[in-house]
């Protein structure tokens, strides 16, 4: 069967978003980015970036509300979260506003609120210069399961989103515990249970998209056993939980990338290609500004725990170069 123009573009975008350049001298585990992608690709049977873009395009209309949940990391190393997640959420929010004239609400927890609000401010300032009526707002979850249930129900009732997207947002394992990709365990009462939005959305027939890079993030529950099989050390929990680090929380579409931000960029690029409008995708200059904004607001590099303008151990120049390459892919597709 001949592939469509959209699929060919999606193949190119997917190939780029799964280039693994994580540090080899510690930090995040290496060698499983491509196997994780292949699991998700087999599950969906087509390029992940263009699939997510198509599902969003088929769902969203002017004036709709979209939730994008983000924020990962805990004290002491990442007390206000990491640079991976908020930047991707902001880039995708911007793309959705420009493509569909929707309203986007970034959902996080209080510890991560400052970096998330910082990227929202950067994008809102740009949108204001273009006289866009729709903007990005931010809401925060309280800690703990009981409070999380109440918050999730209240947000779904108040906003009635048409789509709920997760970018680098942890989901629980079978025992209800949250983990980092290295197997470190977080106390459920010290975490905002933002993943509950995925469960509520799916029950209500609302489109859900999960974007991650480690298997512990919301979305990978759809392919949990297969992801566990390719995960470093079998995805074992350092706290001894039998089900390991991979979450049980599933989404309708799961996008696995080398860096979670890159997965969000991939969808934004696919949206730009689909619309034939490069302006929907962001620029290297905005990329640097967004990463810098998160660091100034307290976020740190998730691989090194350093307060530097970098994401997952990759310097900002690497990320701006990645954005420029994606822009080239979009440009030649239009």
Tell if the pTM clears 0.95, that is, is over it: yes
Instruction: Determine if the peptide bond prior to 76 is cis (ω within 30°).
Output: yes
Confidence of residue 1 (pLDDT cuts 50, 70, 90): very low
Would residue 70 be called left, alpha or beta, if left means φ above 0 and alpha means ψ between -120 and 50 degrees?
beta
- Structure-token pair, residue 51: 């699939």
Ordered by where they begin, the domains of the chain are 5-20+30-333 (3.90.1640.20)
- Report yes or no: 106 and 70 within 8 Å, Cβ to Cβ: yes
Number of Cβ atoms within 10 Å of the Cβ of 63: 12
The secondary element (H helix, E strand) that includes residue 123 is helix 113-129
Are 83 and 302 in contact, with CB atoms under 8 Å apart? Answer: yes
pLDDT digits (tens, 9 = 90+) for 274-297: 999 999 999 999 999 999 999 999
Q: pLDDT tens-digit profile of 130-179? A: 888 889 999 999 999 999 999 999 999 999 999 999 999 999 999 999 99
pLDDT tens for each residue of 196-255? 999 999 999 999 999 999 999 999 999 999 999 999 888 999 999 999 999 999 999 999
Contact call for residues 58 and 75 (beta carbons, < 8 A): no
Looking at every residue in the chain, the average pLDDT score rounds to 96
Residue 302 host element (H or E): none
Is a pLDDT exceeding 80 seen at residue 94? yes
């Amino acid at each position: 069967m001949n592939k469509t123009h959209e699929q060919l573009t999606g193949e190119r975008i997917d190939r780029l978003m799964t280039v693994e350049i994580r540090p080899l001298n510690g930090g995040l585990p290496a060698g499983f980015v491509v196997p994780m992608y292949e699991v998700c690709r087999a599950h969906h049977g087509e390029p992940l970036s263009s699939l997510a873009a198509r599902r969003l395009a088929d769902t969203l209309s002017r004036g709709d509300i979209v939730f994008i949940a983000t924020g990962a990391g805990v004290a002491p190393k990442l007390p206000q979260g990491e640079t991976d997640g908020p930047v991707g959420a902001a880039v995708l929010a911007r793309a959705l506003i420009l493509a569909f004239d929707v309203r986007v609400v970034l959902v996080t927890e209080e510890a991560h609120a400052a970096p998330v609000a910082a990227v929202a401010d950067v994008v809102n300032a740009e949108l204001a210069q273009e006289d866009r009526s729709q903007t990005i707002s931010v809401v925060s979850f309280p800690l703990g399961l009981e409070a999380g249930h109440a918050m999730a129900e209240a947000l779904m009732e108040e906003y009635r989103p048409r789509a709920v997207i997760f970018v680098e947002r942890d989901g629980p394992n079978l025992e209800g515990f949250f983990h980092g990709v290295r197997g470190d365990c977080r106390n459920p009462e010290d975490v905002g249970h933002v993943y509950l939005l995925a469960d509520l959305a799916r029950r209500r027939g609302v489109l859900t998209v999960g974007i991650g890079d480690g298997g512990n993030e919301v979305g990978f529950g759809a392919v949990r056993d297969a992801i566990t099989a390719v995960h470093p050390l079998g995805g074992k929990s350092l706290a001894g939980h039998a089900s390991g680090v991979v979450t049980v929380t599933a989404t309708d579409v799961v996008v696995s990338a080398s860096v979670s931000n890159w997965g969000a960029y991939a969808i934004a690029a696919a949206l730009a290609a689909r619309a034939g409008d490069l302006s929907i995708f962001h620029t290297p200059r905005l990329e640097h500004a967004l990463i810098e904004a998160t660091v100034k607001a307290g976020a740190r590099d998730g691989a090194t725990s350093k307060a530097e303008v970098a994401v997952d151990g990759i310097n900002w120049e690497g990320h701006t170069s990645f954005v420029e390459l994606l822009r080239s892919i979009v440009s030649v597709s239009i």
